[in-house]
Amino acid sequence: MAPKALDYESLNENVKKVQYAVRGELYLRASELQKEGKKIIFTNVGNPHALGQKPLTFPRQVVALCQAPFLLDDPNVGLLFPADAIARAKHYLSLTTGGLGAYSDSRGLPGVRKEVAEFIGRRDGYPSDPELIFLTDGASKGVMQILNCVIRGEGDGVLVPVPQYPLYSATISLLGGSLVPYYLEETANWGLDVNDLRQSVVQARSRGITVILGTLILPKFIHSPLQDLHIVFHLKNITNSTLLWWALLVAELLTNLSCNVYCYQTEFLTLYYLQVRAMVIINPGNPTGQCLSVANLREILHFCYQENLVLLGDEVYQQNIYQDERPFISSRKVLMDMGLPFSKEIQLVSFHTVSKGYFGECGQRGGYFEMTNIPPKTVDEIYKIASISLSPNVPAQIFMGLMVNPLKPGDISYEQFVRERYIYFDYKGIIESLRRRAMMMTDGFNSCRNVVCNFTEGAMYSFPQIRLPPKAIEAAKQAGKVPDVFYCLKLLEATGISTVPGSGFGQKEGVFHLRTTILPAEEDMPEIMSSFKKFNDEFMEQYEDHWGYSRM
Amino acid sequence: MAPKALDYESLNENVKKVQYAVRGELYLRASELQKEGKKIIFTNVGNPHALGQKPLTFPRQVVALCQAPFLLDDPNVGLLFPADAIARAKHYLSLTTGGLGAYSDSRGLPGVRKEVAEFIGRRDGYPSDPELIFLTDGASKGVMQILNCVIRGEGDGVLVPVPQYPLYSATISLLGGSLVPYYLEETANWGLDVNDLRQSVVQARSRGITVILGTLILPKFIHSPLQDLHIVFHLKNITNSTLLWWALLVAELLTNLSCNVYCYQTEFLTLYYLQVRAMVIINPGNPTGQCLSVANLREILHFCYQENLVLLGDEVYQQNIYQDERPFISSRKVLMDMGLPFSKEIQLVSFHTVSKGYFGECGQRGGYFEMTNIPPKTVDEIYKIASISLSPNVPAQIFMGLMVNPLKPGDISYEQFVRERYIYFDYKGIIESLRRRAMMMTDGFNSCRNVVCNFTEGAMYSFPQIRLPPKAIEAAKQAGKVPDVFYCLKLLEATGISTVPGSGFGQKEGVFHLRTTILPAEEDMPEIMSSFKKFNDEFMEQYEDHWGYSRM
């Protein structure tokens, strides 16, 4: 009998192609060990509340009241809830039709989108239009919606930083597009060199053409190098049909195939030249933790202008900054500062979330995206697609409102809110604590044999390079594992520390990393780092060649 | 300059192809009128809380406490929350790691999936495996995930009932698949005739081939009928390459095109024969409101077995039943009752939600799907795809737990819960009230000129047929509108009643409907129906030909 629609063999190939390391082999093994009773320190996902970050009281009070509006009529409500939480709950309920149990508009509640627009206006110094802001079930869902509009097929390329957060590689595979990597420079603290960007695009294009010829003429028919053909295809606004005509001529020139034979091969023919359509930046970086400078952002925007790329600005870590030299600046502000023609020409979509920053409310699944220079007809299309799943969850929309419209001095709960959120010199604040944890981790890693690590300027990850000795790489091969997976698995078994191998994010050939969050409780940090050091140094001892192997 | 990636011209064509009438022209016009101050009765979306259905107190108390866990330590908590709500909140918090602010497993909280499995086991009399149950952000998201695995391209067909809920047509377009309609029989109270199903599949296949030839040889080159060619292609398990060879021969036979010219056309060549891979049933029906009988479900499952189709059972309205002859029975129970080989062979995915039924908690976005006879490797793939967006929102997972694991006699809040939920003879109960509203609407529509309407057996919609006089159809053409859109717009302008034209759900050629929910408050129903009747009868008066036009 033929395979059934949901048998593995007959699934959508794009689904099978997807790779998602953050919850991959390491995560599954860690879950097994946990079931077996081993104590596991999960540092694989940026999930602050799972690692002890406490929710802020005020937002939770407000949402609890919105969930239980009947409490607002209860004479005792004042015994459990402060007056400003009650007032704010009434405010948000008044923005809904039917409370949290009713679908909102598919773009989210207009009143909350207005609060988001005001937040963006204050942040950037340029007004923002609520009609160009869509609320989503977390930032990931927004990224997927936008990429779904951008990617039409294998011929559409998206520039993604490497190392990258696998949401991007996974979504691009799922949508059948092409990922075009650009490498962040580890030795320059994961900085971005625009010349490398240009290189990536050029390489991608020629790769695209090679794909065409590779499929147009089966490899066995072709021996001559393809370089000279590139010129033919490096013309702008080339259409598939003209491209096909050239391909045919070239095919006949190169190999004296009869048309019949050629016709037979048309089944394998995928007609495109790779067109890079969009660029992703993650600022602050995940997993690399760097913060982009204004100068760098300007270069990137210039590049997008020249190459006619839409820029996707993943700015979900904008509140997670652990140094003062490079505070967060939004790509939108930099774009507006650049003035005409850029500020009216460059298409930008930027993403934010309630999952990170002071809130860390991952489980609520709240996010938004804001569109700049996107034509109204396209906005309508995105609205239509959002309508298919009716509306983002409404409670998280309230959290978004609370995040972008925080309490003000004088409000009853302000003191407590600020104390919980972040007092610059109060060493109980979440951010100050994360800053110290980032330092402990960076120093800890750098004190280990064959480990070098950049400081985590932002986001919530540390991404140390592990310089594996040749013998370790050999042992990994023997075990049939990628070297960094081999190392991370041994780390997990020995210490219970669950990390993600660098290969899950992409890294340069022959270079190995791991990603860990900086989220474990501050008091546990020394123990975690010393058990890491113990494991690592013994590992290196075991695999290093004592007859002259030295650090690279 | 070339169009930018997010200019309308260069968007993903599948995105543009999507149609979604539930929030289409009528909805947008209604929103405009509302802004202008006109009173609008929104009956376009099944959004009970927006139309006055009250949330059940107990589930809201539990989720409010989960959002504000610090209340559990407050000595005054007992003044606002009953002991069983407190206990249940502690129970659900104990199923999380880090409360509602932490991502759950991408499949949902194991403890809640266990409660869902127990519910299904009680409902069907057959045990269910939590590992085969995934929680989702509403049922729609689950449907999209499964169709994403099933649909590989234009050549993959999905059988969808017509009239249908546009989630299916929209998702199939978005994923680039082919919708294969099967018609529900209005005169048989929207019943499903399996012989029509067979016809639909046969037609779809030949249509698939016609598409191939239509694109293989441009119409201008071909004059002879295609019938005789169908034989060539009506072979099973045909592969694309053989198909191509035949296509080539046929092409040369039919039109003496030189290979070169033929090659030129290969650009337009889409090579497939349409393979029907899945079938959707909506039970109770949306928009048609019918409930499928056991006999009918058995026929459908037999058909899926013969045709090797995976069955998607949309059962989100299983609590919304307004008659006693045909209570809801799940397709899974019917499948299990059929025994071997069916119970081990037929692939079934069924969907449920917290958005409908007694809860009606649309805005929370909670749902699940359960997989039957889906191989583990496929389950792993679906898990991987779910991981990309990390986890469904956690508060809605708690609502799902509360829905499938309701209070029991003896619990402190039981009395109130039952009273609110559904007391068979209590005329305040949601279901009894909906039952009466369904009757009022059906009778109301049937009392109108040229309107005939089946009784709403289940779900929450009424789908009357509007028999438009030729003159009205003519007037619509003049106005450049689809006839039922023309009628619904006039209804909206005249009465403020916002409905969805039948063309948004699909209907037989020359037959017209509209969909309205039965959700407006019971006390408003008489007024709504009389203003509808007034409009309709005047409309018919205006457009009917008094020189002998009579009802069809």
**Average pLDDT score over chain A:** 85
Query: What is the mean predicted confidence (pLDDT) over A429-449?
Result: 89
| DSSP annotation string for B466-491 | E---HHHHHHHHHHTS-HHHHHHHHH
Residue in A15, A347, A389 nearest the CB of B141: A389
pTM (two decimals): 0.88
* Predicted local distance difference test score (pLDDT) of residue A443: 96
- How many Å apart are CA A456 and CA A444, to the nearest integer? 13
Report percent pLDDT > 90 for chain B: 62
Calculate helix-pair angle for A110-124, A83-94, nearest 10 degrees: 110
Cβ-based neighbours of B493, under 8 Å, separated by 6 or more: B33
* Predicted local distance difference test score (pLDDT) of residue B208: 52
Which range is least confidently modeled, A344-348, B15-19, B296-300, B481-485? B15-19
Check B98 against A45: CB less than 8 A apart: no
Query: What is the mean predicted confidence (pLDDT) over B301-305?
Result: 96
Check A267 against B394: CB less than 8 A apart: no
Compute CA distances B528 → A98, B53, B490, whole Å.
20, 17, 15
Q: Is the pLDDT reported for residue B191 higher than 90?
A: no
Contact B441, B456 (CB under 8 A): yes
Q: What are phi and psi of A349, to 5 degrees?
A: -125, 125
* Predicted local distance difference test score (pLDDT) of residue A113: 98
- How many Å apart are CA A398 and CA A88, to the nearest integer? 10
- How many Å apart are CA B466 and CA B445, to the nearest integer? 9
Q: Is the pLDDT reported for residue A220 higher than 50?
A: no
Element (H, E) at A155: none
CB neighbours of residue A274 within 10 Å: 24
Contact A384, B18 (CB under 8 A): yes
User: Nearest-CA distance from B547 to chain A in Å?
Assistant: 44
Contact B186, B194 (CB under 8 A): no
Q: Is the pLDDT reported for residue B226 higher than 50?
A: no
Q: Is the pLDDT reported for residue A405 higher than 50?
A: yes
Query: What is the mean predicted confidence (pLDDT) over B421-446?
Result: 75
Q: Is the pLDDT reported for residue B259 higher than 50?
A: no
Chain B: residue whose CA lies nearest to A267? B241
Write out pLDDT tens, residues B72-126: 999 999 999 999 999 999 999 999 999 999 999 999 999 999 999 999 999 999 9
- How many Å apart are CA A116 and CA A401, to the nearest integer? 7
* Predicted local distance difference test score (pLDDT) of residue B253: 42
Write out pLDDT tens, residues B486-540: 999 999 999 999 999 999 998 888 999 999 999 888 889 999 999 999 999 999 9
Residue in B2, B102, B384 nearest the CB of A49: B102
User: Nearest-CA distance from B437 to chain A in Å?
Assistant: 20
**Average pLDDT score over chain B:** 85
Write out pLDDT tens, residues B382-409: 999 999 999 999 999 999 999 999 999 9
Q: Is the pLDDT reported for residue A417 higher than 50?
A: yes
Chain B: residue whose CA lies nearest to A11? B149
Residue in A6, A20, A384 nearest the CB of B18: A384
* Predicted local distance difference test score (pLDDT) of residue B106: 94
Query: What is the mean predicted confidence (pLDDT) over B177-189?
Result: 90
Chain A: residue whose CA lies nearest to B177? A12
What residues of A are in contact with residue B349 (Cβ under 8 Å)?
A: 6
Interface test with B, best of A342, A370, A387 (most B CBs within 10 A): A387
CB neighbours of residue B183 within 10 Å: 18
Banded pLDDT at B222 (limits 50, 70, 90): very low
Banded pLDDT at A521 (limits 50, 70, 90): confident
Residue in A18, A50, A63 nearest the CB of B385: A18
Contact B121, B357 (CB under 8 A): no
Q: Is the pLDDT reported for residue A550 higher than 80?
A: no
CB pairs under 8 A between A and B: 328
* Predicted local distance difference test score (pLDDT) of residue A447: 97
* Residue A444 CA, distance from chain mean position: 26
* Predicted local distance difference test score (pLDDT) of residue B265: 30
Write out pLDDT tens, residues A26-84: 888 998 898 899 999 888 888 888 887 889 999 999 999 999 999 999 999 999 999 99
User: Which range in A90-99, A323-332, B48-57, B155-164 is most confidently predicted, on average pLDDT?
Assistant: A90-99
More confident: A418 or B278? B278
Banded pLDDT at A269 (limits 50, 70, 90): very low
Residue in B2, B71, B347 nearest the CB of A80: B71
* Predicted local distance difference test score (pLDDT) of residue B547: 55
Banded pLDDT at A209 (limits 50, 70, 90): very low
* Residue B226 CA, distance from chain mean position: 36
Write out pLDDT tens, residues B344-373: 999 999 999 999 988 899 999 999 999 999
Chain B: residue whose CA lies nearest to A382? B15
Which range is least confidently modeled, A12-21, A423-432, A485-494? A423-432
* Predicted local distance difference test score (pLDDT) of residue B546: 64
Region of residue B474 (left: phi > 0; alpha: psi -120 to 50; beta: else): alpha
Which range is least confidently modeled, A152-161, A229-238, A243-252, A264-273? A229-238
Q: Is the pLDDT reported for residue A385 higher than 60?
A: yes
Banded pLDDT at B435 (limits 50, 70, 90): confident
Query: What is the mean predicted confidence (pLDDT) over B420-426?
Result: 52
Task: Check if the interface score ipTM surpasses 0.85.
Answer: yes
Write out pLDDT tens, residues A71-101: 999 999 999 999 999 999 999 999 999 999 9
* Predicted local distance difference test score (pLDDT) of residue A547: 55
Chain B: residue whose CA lies nearest to A16? B381
* Predicted local distance difference test score (pLDDT) of residue A368: 98
Q: Which residues of B384-411 are buried (b: 16+ CB within 10 A; e: fewer)?
A: bbbbbbbbbbbbbbbbbbbbbbbbeeeb
User: Nearest-CA distance from B228 to chain A in Å?
Assistant: 24
Contact A130, A151 (CB under 8 A): no
Q: Is the pLDDT reported for residue A259 higher than 60?
A: no
Check A99 against B55: CB less than 8 A apart: yes
Query: What is the mean predicted confidence (pLDDT) over B425-437?
Result: 68
Check A137 against B365: CB less than 8 A apart: yes
